[in-house]
Amino acid sequence: MQTRKLGNSNLEVSALGLGCMGMSFGYGPAHDKQEMTALLRSAVECGVTFFDTAEAYGPFANEELLGAALAPFRRQVVIATKFGFKNGKPAEGLDSRPERIREVAEASLQRLNTDYIDLFYQHRVDPNVPIEDVAGTVKDLIHEGKVRHFGLSEAAVQTIRRAHAVQPVTALQSEYSLWTREPESEVLPTLEELGIGFVPFSPLGKGFLTGKIDESATFEGSDIRSILPRFTAEARIANRTLVDLLGRVAEQKRATPAQIALAWLLAQKPWIVPIPGTTKPGRLEENIASTAIELTADDLREIDAAASKITVQGARYTESMEKMTNR
């Protein structure tokens, strides 16, 4: 597995991380702990060193899962977790008060079975707490040795700049893929200017870009996709053209659409580290293999030219969820 550095920081991670949310939360019922423990340890054996979790995933269950599964490898892996929701529950709203950040840090350390958090993200920007106070609190936690790096998620450019002036931001985590390209206009240039790494979540479009989700797929109530406008049957039919594009390139490269989607992201910047999630060993291996796929300048031009003619149908989030992003 190749490695990458997140921006100008000294935080070196595998070129592909593992998003762990779906093991416990977000895409249906939590998966079997023993199976997920085996998957996490298999990821380490395959060279993955970057694992993404949050107190909100469960809540709390995902951190506990990682804490137990990764304990034998703690010094060789990088664990990112997040604060920012009331009681760790997104439905209850945002809470990034300094005292709450400290509470989350202490609780996360316990659940993760560790004495330091490698990367501590603000999960969503809280409009009721100045970002300078948030950055200052994390700065104090870094000085105390409880946290090593500060991150933001779904933050807008001015917020990133204000936070970075107080405590250097190591990474921004936001959605980015061939069907969610909003970061390209302002966010990516700002990150490059400031030397901040970028960690795209949902790099496979919440599974859609794998080509395995068609208009007949159904999602149960605890699966976030059941309420997202981009996952209505009509939107899935309309958005199939993007999967078809990936499929054509995949045929040429003897790869899968998912591998091309990840290779495309990796080719954008050397400081981009996608974190696809999975609960299946075969998918883990497939995703990791994407790091060996080389897309030439001609390949990238061909993909961009074709993608520019495709209009993605459906908003990526519900209206209430969208209000928490890009602040």
Indicate whether 107 pLDDT > 90. Answer: yes
Query: Residues 116-147: pLDDT tens digits?
Result: 999 999 999 999 999 999 999 999 999 999 99
Query: Which strand ranges, in their side-by-side order, compose the sheet holding 147-153?
Result: 18-19, 50-52, 78-83, 117-122, 147-153, 169-175, 197-201
Task: Answer yes or no: 57 catalytic.
Answer: yes
For residue 224, give every residue at least 6 positions away whose Cβ sits within 8 Å of its Cβ, in sequence order, or none: 26, 27, 206
Indicate whether 210 pLDDT > 90. Answer: yes
pLDDT band at 183 (very low <50, low <70, confident <90, very high): very high
- The set of long-range contacts for 44-48, using a CB threshold of 8 Å and a minimum separation of 24, is 44/70, 44/73, 44/76, 44/77, 46/1, 46/284, 46/285, 46/288, 47/1, 47/14, 47/288, 48/1, 48/14, 48/16, 48/17, 48/18, 48/288
Q: Which of 57, 121, 176, 317 is catalytic?
A: 57
Q: What is the pLDDT of residue 191?
A: 98
Query: Whole-structure pTM over 0.85, yes or no?
Result: yes
Q: What is the pLDDT of residue 326?
A: 82
Taken in order of first residue, the domains within the chain and their CATH numbers are: 3-322 (3.20.20.100)
Neighbours of 112 (CB within 10 A): 25
| Separation of alpha carbons 123 and 308, rounded Å | 30
Confirm if 93 and 123 have CB atoms less than 8 A apart: no
Indicate whether 96 pLDDT > 90. Answer: yes
Confirm if 36 and 43 have CB atoms less than 8 A apart: no
3-class state of residue 132 by DSSP: helix
